Amino acid sequence: MPVPERKSSRVGFSRRRLLGGAAGLGAVGVGAGIGWGAAEAVTANGSDGSAGQQIEPFYGPHQAGIATAAQAHAQFVGLDLVEGSDSAALTGILKVWTEDAARLTGGRAALADTEPELAHIPSRLTVTVGVGAGVFGPAAPAQRRPTWLRPLPAFSIDRINESVWGQTDLLLQVCGDDPTTVAHAVRVLTKNVRSRVRIAWVQRGFHHARGSTPKGTTMRNLMGQVDGTVNPRSDLDFDSLVWDDGGQQPWLAGGTALVLRRIAMQLDTWEELDRHARELTVGRTIPNGAPLTGTDEHDTPDFEATRMGIPVIPPSSHIARAHQRSAREQFLRRAYNYDDPPGPGETSNSGLIFAAYQQDVDAQFLPVQQRLADHDALNEWTVPIGSAVYAILPGIAEGDFLGSTLVS
Amino acid sequence: MPVPERKSSRVGFSRRRLLGGAAGLGAVGVGAGIGWGAAEAVTANGSDGSAGQQIEPFYGPHQAGIATAAQAHAQFVGLDLVEGSDSAALTGILKVWTEDAARLTGGRAALADTEPELAHIPSRLTVTVGVGAGVFGPAAPAQRRPTWLRPLPAFSIDRINESVWGQTDLLLQVCGDDPTTVAHAVRVLTKNVRSRVRIAWVQRGFHHARGSTPKGTTMRNLMGQVDGTVNPRSDLDFDSLVWDDGGQQPWLAGGTALVLRRIAMQLDTWEELDRHARELTVGRTIPNGAPLTGTDEHDTPDFEATRMGIPVIPPSSHIARAHQRSAREQFLRRAYNYDDPPGPGETSNSGLIFAAYQQDVDAQFLPVQQRLADHDALNEWTVPIGSAVYAILPGIAEGDFLGSTLVS
């Protein structure tokens, strides 16, 4: 998913290796001619391991993991505070997570990290923390709850398994290009607070591996569709659509709202459709995701275009129904594929971990979702089975802790 | 895990892009001086997506996915034939898998692939097929069963959950550097035979991402240990230890035996140990996996060395117990980490998908495993919960199908 990228920095990067590597490559390219030797050097894709040393900055006005170019792997962890947790308990958790996340995302072992070697390959690790409505009252001032921070209304299409994939008090979103690093980070972050929380669920997702598609390629979901084409891209877009401006809740300025939905794909029936029927269902071509009225993925769909009097993009198609009716009906989508072991008698257990970031769920996500729930040709093959809403905490400066403006 | 690498080839690789990319890089390195611009180009790790186009050859004397340098992701799928399956049914499955695997590993859509676009990024995809003892008799000549192809004896340390992670009739091992490609391949391979088999389990594993560690780096498991140092490396080693020579079962020449064990890690108690105790438990240092008597990972352990009269490598340590007592007690280990969602009240559900390839389970794996089961300091923190043994079919030439020598 092409979103504006933060500039990646690099630690532990040897200037000697840098000089040696680049100079050596130049020599091959120029002195030895362009052959497979040079191609191997160019395309060996980090056989020197340098991709593992790329770092996403932890400190800043916003938490990383949102405007960050989507990493290859994600774990979303939903946690509940144990009974009787108060503001001090929540503060303690947030301070531990801040300390751990600042170190781990920088490629340093957490304090008391029992497997420090697993922390040394950050691979663009990000840790993003959010809170659900449940913390307001018991553990944070009730009046600080944003009005949109509440369960979504029940949509007719929903088959939410609330006891499995429902709302939680806290969310940890851990993303990175290396699955081992992500696993280690989740282990550290959860075990260090294990007496204070209960893990309700863990959702594991993935994109194409780093390096296996050209940079900036929009992901494909497991239905084979290009997924996530329309997204805010500029800093201006992020400021006007994604980052909270503190207007309603001053403590949240720089944070954002996350709607996290788990959407199961009915691949067995989906695959009975031919390609033309699929393209009419979505409103985009399968090969490159172009709208049916265009040739390029990022062409603007023309919902007025007709052929023999029939709309080229069916009004019931997913993009026609999802398309914004106002400037406000936009949000950042940063979804991940999931593919878990199938249940008895099933072939697949696949779908999308749909993550939508925005300023105001009521104004941005809800009208679109209501329209899709009312009618979307795609609904026949997609089933929402999980749903939760979180306030993603603002970013912080060094020395501060995540959520300080919420709990203090 | 550093095993001998097959030479990767490349399809769909544009000569124009190759020339353009390498020449452009050369120009930056030489003409523009060595700066961050060049470093970005060198270390961008396949932002051109070329890693996605790397291919492991499908045809050959041995199946790919064994001597192949371990890819970042693996799915092991255990399947049972439906009741009443005969040789024709098994033959049909093997022919479908051969056709699908040849195409998918080459970056081409399978026949009747409903999501062909998900097949175009092979990323070193391999598909490896094995058969369990259950096919012999009903679906293959009973006398063709190798003597070692039977359940392992029950070891005292085992807590095998036979109904969940037990023996199956068939095994699909699908490995690749891209998790989306692996997911698609498993979907295609399983759905195309779904009326003829039942999926018993799917085990998903991972290593560090491609490009995030230097090429040839031995993996670390989720206990933080360097895992897989001692392994056959040369073609000679593979011929004498791994590849079946057809001596017992001529049909199996070029195949191999796989012992697949699922080993749960008790991370909560493991992490109570300090680093020194861990190193004594394993017999290797944590930072680089060197034996306690050496400085480099690949130094030969000296089990005779003492300090103040005490063995430097404890006789009860994992490497002392696992170390071969004869030339025959060696096999190829090609393990993957697993990290699944934790059960209620748990923090982690992690461990190792231990995969050991060899000519003869009875002569190679069993004596070592018996010794470890009798005593291994590591046993306190590792619990075998799954176990299965397969005959991995020989490789084939184009036009043939996997298992042709078994069923015909």
pLDDT tens for A258-283 read: 999 999 999 999 999 999 999 999 99
Please check whether residue A84 touches B, CB under 8 A.
no
Distance CA B212, CA A121 (A): 7
Higher pLDDT, A183 or B45: A183
**What does the pLDDT look like over B171-220, one tens digit per residue?**
999 999 999 999 999 999 999 999 999 999 999 999 999 999 998 899 99
**Dist CA A267 CA B250 (whole Å):** 41
Of B29, B199, B224, the CB nearest to A347: B199
B115 touches chain A (CB under 8 A): yes
What does the buried/exposed string (b/e) look like for B65-84 if buried means 16 or more CB atoms within 10 Å of the residue's CB? bbbbbbbbbbbbbbbbbeee
Taking the C-alpha atoms of residue B31 and residue B33, their distance in angstroms, rounded to an integer, is: 6
What is the C-alpha radius of gyration for chain A, rounded to an integer number of angstroms? 22
Coil, helix or strand at residue A363: coil
pLDDT at B397 exceeding the cut of 60 = yes
Render pLDDT for A46-93 as a digit per residue (tens, 0 to 9): 468 899 999 999 999 999 999 999 999 999 999 999 999 999 999 999
**Three-class SS state of A371:** helix
CA gap B74, B219 in Å, rounded: 14
Nearest to B132 by CA among B353, B401, B387: B387
Whether residue A124 lies within 8 A of chain B, CB to CB, comes out as no
Q: A396 near A102, Cβ under 8 Å?
A: no
pLDDT surpasses 50 at B38? no
Per-residue pLDDT band at B119 (split at 50, 70, 90) = very high
Q: Which residues, at least 6 apart from A335, have a Cβ–Cβ distance to it below 8 Å?
A: A1, A205, A219, A221, A227, A228, A352, A353, A354, A355
CA dihedral sign of residues A316, A320, A323, A324? negative
Query: Residue A184 in contact with residue A118, Cβ under 8 Å?
Result: yes
Residue B3 lies in a domain: no
Strands A336-340 and A332-333: unpaired
Asked whether A392 and A296 are in contact (CB, 8 A), the reply is no
In the prediction, which pLDDT does A40 show? Answer: 33
A364 pLDDT more than 50: yes
CA distances from A14 to A8, A19, A49 (A): 16, 9, 12
Active-site annotation holds for B296: no
A385 within a domain of the structure (yes/no): yes
A87 exposed, middle or buried (CB, 10 Å; 0-12, 13-18, 19+)? middle
pLDDT band with cut points at 50, 70 and 90 for residue A37: very low
Residue B327 lies in a domain: yes
d(CA B246, CA B380): 39
Mutate one of B212, B270, B286 to test the A interface: name it (highest A CB count within 10 A). B212
Contact residues, chain B, for A27 at CB < 8 Å: 29
Contact B50 A45 (CB under 8 A): yes
**Residue B30 scores a pLDDT above 50:** no
CB-CB under 8 Å, A28 with B28: no
* Residue A40 within a domain: no
Query: Is A178–B212 a contact, with Cβ atoms under 8 angstroms apart?
Result: yes
Between residues A178 and A28, the one the model is more confident about: A178
The mean pLDDT value of chain B amounts to 89
**Amino acid in the structure at residue B296:** D
Q: Within an 8 Å CB–CB cutoff, is residue A17 touching chain B?
A: no
Query: How many domains, chain B?
Result: 1
Interchain CB distance below 8 Å, A211 and B212: no
C-alpha to C-alpha distances, A89 to A80, A255, B231, nearest whole angstrom: 12, 22, 49
- Which chain A residues touch B268 with a CB distance below 8 Å? 191
Q: B249: which 2 tokens?
A: 């079962």
Inter-residue contact B7 to B55 (CB < 8 Å): no
What residues of chain A lie within 8 A of the CB of B180, using their CB? 206-209, 220, 222, 337
pLDDT of residue A48: 81
**Distance separating alpha carbons of residues B178 and B211, to the nearest angstrom:** 12
Using a pLDDT cut of 90, give the percent of chain B over it: 84
A160 inside domain: yes
**Higher-pLDDT residue of B29, A201:** A201
Find chain B residues with C-beta within 8 A of A337's C-beta: 180, 183
For an interface test with B, the pick among A79, A206, A210 (most B C-beta atoms closer than 10 Å) comes out as A210
Q: A376 touching B, CB under 8 A?
A: no
Say if residue A250 is exposed, middle or buried (CB neighbours under 10 Å; 0-12, 13-18, 19+). Answer: exposed
Is the pLDDT at B34 greater than 60? The verdict is no
Please report whether residue B6 resides in a domain.
no
Q: Is residue B219 part of a domain?
A: yes
Q: Annotated catalytic residue: which of B227, B244, B360, B376?
A: B227
Is A305 a residue whose pLDDT tops 70? yes
Alpha helix locations (H) across A249-301?
267-270, 275-282
Q: What angle do CA B40, B107, A71 make, to 5 degrees?
A: 40
pLDDT tens column, B98-114: 999 999 999 999 998 99
* Active-site option among A100, A227, A360, A376: A227
Interface probe for B, chosen from A1, A115, A215, A223 (most Cβ of B below 10 Å), is A115
Q: Poorest-confidence range of A44-53, A198-207, A344-353, B63-72? A: A44-53
Contact check, Cβ <8 Å, B347/A190: yes
> Which residues, 6 or more positions from A171, have their beta carbon under 8 angstroms from its beta carbon?
A76, A77, A78, A79, A128, A129, A130, A131, A132, A258, A260, A388, A390, A392
Does residue A345 have a pLDDT over 60? yes
In one-letter notation, the amino acid at residue A178 is D
ipTM of the complex: 0.88
3-class DSSP assignment, residue B62: coil
A to B CB pairs, distance under 8 Å: 274
pLDDT tops 50 at residue A158? yes
- pLDDT, residue A47, reads 65
Specify the range with the lowest mean pLDDT, choosing from A258-272, A317-331, B19-33.
Answer: B19-33
pLDDT surpasses 80 at B254: yes
Cα–Cα distance, B283 to B19 (Å, whole number): 49
Q: How far is CA A246 from CA A239, A361, B53, B296, B399, in A?
A: 12, 15, 46, 55, 67
- Residue A286 φ/ψ, nearest 5 degrees: -75, -45
Q: Are strands A54-55 and A73-81 parallel, antiparallel or unpaired?
A: unpaired
Write down the pLDDT at residue B292.
Answer: 97
Q: Which of B23, B115, B178 sits opposite A209 (nearest CB)?
A: B178
Q: Are strands A382-392 and A197-206 parallel, antiparallel or unpaired?
A: unpaired
Q: What's the count of helices (H) and strands (E) in chain A, helices before strands?
A: 11, 13
Which residues from B are below 8 Å from A339, CB to CB?
Answer: 179, 183, 186
- Residue in B73, B186, B212 closest to A177 by CB: B212
CA distances from B138 to B38, B89, B133, B141 (A): 62, 10, 10, 8
Closest residue to B214, CB basis, from A48, A73, A224:
A48
> B30: nearest CA in chain A?
A26
How much is the pLDDT for A215? Answer: 86
At B31, the pLDDT band (50, 70, 90 cuts) reads very low
Q: Is the predicted pLDDT of residue A27 greater than 70, yes or no?
A: no
Q: Residue A44 above 60 pLDDT?
A: no
Inter-chain contact A118–B224, Cβ cutoff 8 Å?
A: yes
As given in the structure block, the two tokens for residue B232 are 């056959």
Predicted model pTM: 0.89
- Can you tell me the distance from the alpha carbon of A309 to that of B119, in angstroms, rounded to the nearest whole number? 36
Domain residue limits at A207: 51-406
Contacts of A358 (CB under 8 A, 6+ apart): A241, A242, A256, A257, A259, A330, A331, A332, A364, A365
pLDDT for position B15:
30
Listed by number, the residues of chain B in 41-60 with a beta carbon closer than 8 Å to a beta carbon of chain A are: 41-52
Tokens of B242: 């791994």
Q: Which two tokens stand for residue A341?
A: 């072991």
Confidence tier at A18 by pLDDT (50, 70, 90): very low
Q: Which helix (H) or strand (E) holds B311?
A: strand B310-311
Q: Does B223 touch chain A (CB under 8 A)?
A: yes
User: pLDDT, tens digit, for every residue of B332-368?
Assistant: 999 999 999 999 889 999 999 999 999 999 999 999 9
Report whether B79 contacts B198 (CB < 8 A): yes
Contact A124, A56 (CB under 8 A): yes
- In which band, very low, low, confident or very high, does the pLDDT at A301 lie, cut at 50, 70 and 90? very high
Residue B45 located in a structural domain: no
* Predicted local confidence at residue B216, as pLDDT: 86
Q: Strands B332-333, B349-358: parallel, antiparallel or unpaired by DSSP?
A: antiparallel
State whether residue A112 sits within 8 Å of chain B by CB. Answer: no
Res. A7: pLDDT tops 70: no
Instruction: Compute how many other C-beta atoms are within 10 angstroms of the C-beta atom of residue A23.
Output: 15
Query: Are A341 and B183 an interchain contact pair (Cβ–Cβ within 8 Å)?
Result: no
Instruction: Say which range, A2-16, A99-113, A372-386, B199-213, has the weakest mean pLDDT.
Output: A2-16
Average pLDDT, chain A: 89
